[in-house]
Amino acid sequence: MFNKLHLTAVFLTLSSFSSTTVAEPTDAVLSDIARMLPGTYTNAAQLASVDESTEAFALTTIIKPMSNPALGETLYYLEEYKNNDPSAVARIRIYSFVLEDGVVRLHLLNPTDVEALHGAHADLSRAERLTPEDIQLDRDSCMLDITRLNDTLVARMDSHTCDVLDTWVDYELIIDQAGTWTCYARRLQSDDSLAWLQMPTFPCIRQQRTVTILP
């Protein structure tokens, strides 16, 4: 059986990086992102640690660098699907890393016609033809600040800023040498209690990198 207490301890330790790290040179952070982020990721190892009766599902994430000057200078295309079925697309996004106020920040770009991009990880020209009119940009309050400790990068939203109705989005992406942790939840504004988890079995989804895509 999966040890939730152990994962929670790991999560809290990694989360503390975002408040304790010293600002890194932005060029070095962008270089680390280019080296560590692109690839294909799966949560197969994490799934193997739980009973089949749980609500957990297989999640495959493909991230590739892309070029589209109309949308930004440092872009990555993300396509994610469930249960090893490429047609069961769960999320398509474009990550835009920008330099603001002396730090690297991650803005989330949401294509308005997601279905038109299904499978575009194999043909990035479709994403590279998008215009600003084809994109819905997350609010500035929902951007993530990037920090680094040793060989770990942490992209994190500020608490209570990215609000949705009576909740706020608690989102953190942790990138290390082996893969990523994605901690994605919504919490009530009133008392910070959990209102939604991307995958109820896990407070954070661990995906290991199975394919590395070199910059």
What are the tokens at 150?
Answer: 């040793």
Host domain of residue 31: 4-212
pLDDT mean across residues, the chain: 89
Check residue 32 and give its pLDDT: 95
The more confidently predicted of residues 49 and 168 is: 168
Check residue 52 and give its pLDDT: 73
Check residue 53 and give its pLDDT: 63
- When divided into structural domains, the chain yields a total of 1
For the cut 60, the answer to whether the pLDDT of residue 24 exceeds it is no
Check residue 125 and give its pLDDT: 98
Per-residue pLDDT band at 215 (split at 50, 70, 90): low
Per-residue pLDDT band at 4 (split at 50, 70, 90): very low
For the cut 70, the answer to whether the pLDDT of residue 8 exceeds it is no
Indicate which CATH number applies to the domain containing 59.
Answer: 2.40.128.590
The more confidently predicted of residues 75 and 198 is: 75
Question: pTM for the complete prediction?
Answer: 0.86
The more confidently predicted of residues 52 and 171 is: 171
| The residue type at 8 | T
Separation in Å, CA 201 to CA 35, 49, 119: 30, 11, 28
> What is the SS3 assignment for 167?
strand
The more confidently predicted of residues 119 and 1 is: 119
CA proximity to 10, closest of 205, 201, 165, 214 = 205
Q: Mean pLDDT over residues 170-198, rounded?
A: 95
How many angstroms separate the CA atoms of 117 and 111, rounded?
8
Least confident among 15-29, 91-105, 189-203: 15-29
Q: Alpha carbon 17 to chain centroid distance?
A: 17
**HSE on the CB side for 119, CA within 13 Å?**
4
